[in-house]
Each structure stands twice: as structure tokens, then as C-alpha cells.
């Protein structure tokens, strides 16, 4: 077993290909929850517009989760710009990361169906939290075991930026989630603003290297 552990999980390319594939499937599954209204009762333009308006919870959560997946995909890619070695533990950390990524279409559909319920928002946030934890663990493990392509001051600078961005993002998501006790829509709006900020750097004071949220 010790010899197996030493040789398993050495191929980073397969891990990155699998990660890209899971993200692509998750993004596709998000949109499948949005279905075109079909009803014999729709006989007018106003009726069709009302049916379309009824899709607003699904459209809102779709955009929210699409940005969520985009942020974590960029974050995962940013880490692997510097991770140049791997072992079986890196593989399993990333498999659990992908596990929680693949669950996001379900928690998104759950949120869209029960958007006015606090439990649905908390479940959705928990999914984001678990993705963030695994992304943090991925970098920390690679750093601790010397799997990075950078060293010294540069490694410290990059590591600090990655960890700070993950922790800050997760803190803001938690704050947004707590607002569901005031209003579910306020909670979702704050989370959405946080997502836009991290995706497009809306509140950045200066250009920065694209690092994970």
C-alpha cells in the first residue's frame, strides 16, 4: 500500500481534464431546470408574459449559480497554474471538490423552487461553503507538501492572496446568508452582488491577478 500511495495520482492532466468536464456538465445542468411554459391557458401576449415572469426565480438562481461556478472554475484554474506536482491525496481533495460542484445544480433547483424559504438559502450557502473549503484545502495541501512551482517570497505572496480571497469571499457569503432572517430576497441580492464583485472586480482599487474566490 505504501508503494501504491507513492505512485498513485501523479498525473495532473487527467485531474484538470476531469475538473473541466465536471464544471461543463454542471453548467449545462443548471439551464435544464428552466423549462419553456406550456399551457393551453396561454392565449394572449399578456398571458405569455405572465408565464415568463413566473420563471423569474429559476432565471435568478440560474444566473447566480452560473457566476458561482464561473468563479470557482477560475479559482481552481488559478491554483493549478502553480501546482506542478500531485499525489493521491491531491486527487481525492479535488474529487471531493468536484463532488460539491456537481451538487450545485440540485441546490440551485431546490432554491428556485423554495426561494422564499430560509432553509433553501442556507442549503445553497452550505454548498458554496463546502466548495470553498475544498478549494482552500487543495492549496494548503499542495503548499505544505512542496507541490508548488514557486518558492520564497513569491510563494508567500501568492499564497496569502489566494487564502485571503477565499476566506473573504466565504465570509461575505455567510453574511449574505444571515440576511435571510430579514428577507430571503435581500439575502440573495447581497450574495449576487458579492458574486458580481468577485467575478468582475467591481470594487477593486487596482488591477490584480485573477485569483480564486
State pLDDT tens for residues 154-186: 999 999 999 999 999 999 999 999 999 999 999
Please tell me the pTM assigned to this model: 0.87
| pLDDT averaged over every residue in the chain | 87
- b/e burial code for range 124-156 (CB count within 10 A of at least 16 → b): bbebbbbbbebbbbbbebbbeeebbeeeeeeee
Q: Report whether pLDDT(209) > 70.
A: no
* Residue 38 binned pLDDT confidence (cut-offs 50, 70, 90): confident
- Collapsed DSSP state (helix, strand, coil) of residue 11: coil
Q: Report whether pLDDT(207) > 90.
A: no
CA Rg value for the chain:
20
DSSP secondary structure of 58-117 = HHHHHHHHHHHHHHHHHHHHHHHTTB----HHHHHHHHHHHHHHHHHHHHHHHHHHTTT-
* Residue 49 binned pLDDT confidence (cut-offs 50, 70, 90): confident
* Residue 76 binned pLDDT confidence (cut-offs 50, 70, 90): very high
pLDDT, tens digit, 9 for 90 and up, residues 145-155: 889 988 889 99
Report the pLDDT value the prediction gives residue 9, as an integer from 0 to 100: 54
Amino acid at each position: 500500500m505504501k508503494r501504491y500511495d507513492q505512485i498513485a495520482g501523479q498525473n495532473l492532466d487527467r485531474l484538470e481534464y476531469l475538473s473541466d468536464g465536471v464544471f461543463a456538465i454542471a453548467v449545462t445542468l443548471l439551464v435544464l431546470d428552466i423549462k419553456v411554459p406550456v399551457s393551453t391557458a396561454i392565449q394572449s401576449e399578456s398571458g405569455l408574459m405572465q408565464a415568463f415572469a413566473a420563471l423569474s426565480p429559476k432565471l435568478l438562481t440560474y444566473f447566480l449559480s452560473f457566476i458561482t461556478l464561473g468563479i470557482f472554475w477560475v479559482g481552481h484554474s488559478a491554483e493549478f497554474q502553480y501546482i506542478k506536482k500531485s499525489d493521491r491525496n491531491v486527487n481525492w481533495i479535488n474529487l471531493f471538490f468536484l463532488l460539491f460542484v456537481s451538487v450545485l445544480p440540485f441546490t440551485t433547483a431546490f432554491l428556485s423552487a423554495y426561494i422564499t424559504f430560509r432553509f433553501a438559502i442556507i442549503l445553497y450557502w452550505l454548498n458554496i461553503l463546502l466548495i470553498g473549503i475544498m478549494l482552500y484545502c487543495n492549496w494548503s495541501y499542495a503548499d505544505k507538501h512542496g507541490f508548488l512551482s514557486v518558492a520564497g517570497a513569491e510563494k508567500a505572496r501568492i499564497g496569502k492572496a489566494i487564502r485571503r480571497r477565499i476566506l473573504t469571499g466565504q465570509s461575505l457569503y455567510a453574511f449574505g446568508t444571515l440576511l435571510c432572517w430579514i428577507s430571503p430576497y435581500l439575502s440573495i441580492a447581497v450574495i449576487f452582488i458579492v458574486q458580481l464583485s468577485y467575478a468582475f472586480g467591481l470594487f477593486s482599487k487596482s488591477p490584480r491577478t485573477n485569483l480564486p474566490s
